[in-house]
Amino acid sequence: MIIAPKIKGFLCTTAHPAGCEADVMSQIDQIKSGGPIPNVPKRVLVIGASGGYGLATRITSAFGGGAETIGVFFERPALKGRTASPGWYKSAAFSKAADEAGLYAKNFNGDAFSQAMKDAVIDTIKADWGQVDMVVYSLAAPARTLASGETVRSVLKPIGEPFSGATIDFNSRELRRVALAPADEAEIAATVKVMGGEDWEDWIGQLKDQGCLAPGCLTTNYTYLGSEVTFPIYYHGTIGRAKEDLDRAAQALALELSEVNGHARVIVMKGLLTQAASAIPGMSVYLSLLFKAMKAAGTHEGCLEQVDRLFRTQLFSAVQRLDEAGRIRMDDWELKPEIQDYVQSHWGQVTQDNLDELTDFEGYRAAFLNLHGFDFEGVDYACEQEPEVPMAVQDF
């Protein structure tokens, strides 16, 4: 079948297998071209491994540090003529490349919040590794089913005051105003349950109780804080409350991991287009302006470039760039005064007529298409594709 992007709102309902594979192979080649990365742990568990920072971490660990990896994700295989999800194709491509390179890579597909998933992964760690050296929690999920059977859902809402912002339609390029009412206490609590640090603590606690954390084990969790422009909907909203809970969890885990001489770190990354970010009102305008400014300055990075810089200069270095909360800051280039000055001075000036002049919306749109395997050079999108791509995976 010929596979083309089908965009509805901020969702793309198709993914291109050849494009996703080309994306993964390009990232692998980029990491390898930078040379080996010293001090990378050799047994790495990535929870949320099929896209964004999680996939970039898995690629960087394996092909930059020679690590064995276990990836946990929740992705959809192709079914009845419908394409698989992008994360399925990208995880399949990673697994194929790892196998060809002689690197151990096992995949677990299902609900990372569930006890069944935790049990299966822990059993595999015991059988294959004995212990794990690094646990990366990079999960992005809209809902979580608790042990009680209750399902709670996160919301993207401001707290205290209503929010009004603009979003850009991917197809029409039209700017539309979006208004959101403030979240109530139940919605705030649910968002923290889904996106906060509780499940991160649960994973580490169970791994520790089962004797699966190696001496010196490191665990990390990626976050984004944003700038003053996005604070009303992001850091001062429901998402921000969840981010605050990550800081609480990191402090608790640091104490728990001290028993194995381990460490817990929250890592603040720069603003990038992810599936979650594309749904947040105002972020399309902010990121389009940010891309314009950072590309002009020569400091724009994607997920892989961020993780590569993190691994080579910060995470395994004796001198880390920490803030007052003990977080590693990789958003330093985004927050440079000259970058934020450009964003803030043009924030209220963007219209449909000057979109290309003031912003890099085309770059933003290309990044969105790239998430789904589209718009890559060297891929023949007029060529017939087999949507069913096999992958060795344990399903839960």
List, by residue number, the catalytic residues. Answer: 234
Cβ within 8 Å of residue 152, ≥6 positions away: 143, 144, 146, 190, 193, 194
Which of 62, 74, 70, 73 minimizes the C-alpha distance to 45? 70
Token representation of residue 262: 């381990």
Cβ-based burial of 67 (10 A; exposed 0-12, middle 13-18, buried ≥19): buried
User: DSSP string spanning 205-218?
Assistant: HHHHHTT-EEEEEE
Cα separation, 226 vs 283, in Å, equals 10
Q: Are β-strands 7-8 and 11-12 bridged in parallel, bridged antiparallel, or unpaired?
A: antiparallel
Apex 270 CA angle, 7 and 156, nearest 5: 55
Looking up tokens 């198709």 gives: 14
Cα separation, 242 vs 192, in Å, equals 4
Cα separation, 65 vs 312, in Å, equals 10
Cβ within 8 Å of residue 316, ≥6 positions away: 37, 38, 39, 40
Contact criterion met (CB below 8 Å) for 191 and 183: yes
- Determine phi and psi for 119, rounding to 5 degrees: -60, -45
Cα separation, 77 vs 387, in Å, equals 9
User: DSSP string spanning 329-355?
Assistant: E--TTTT-HHHHHHHHHHTTT--SSSH
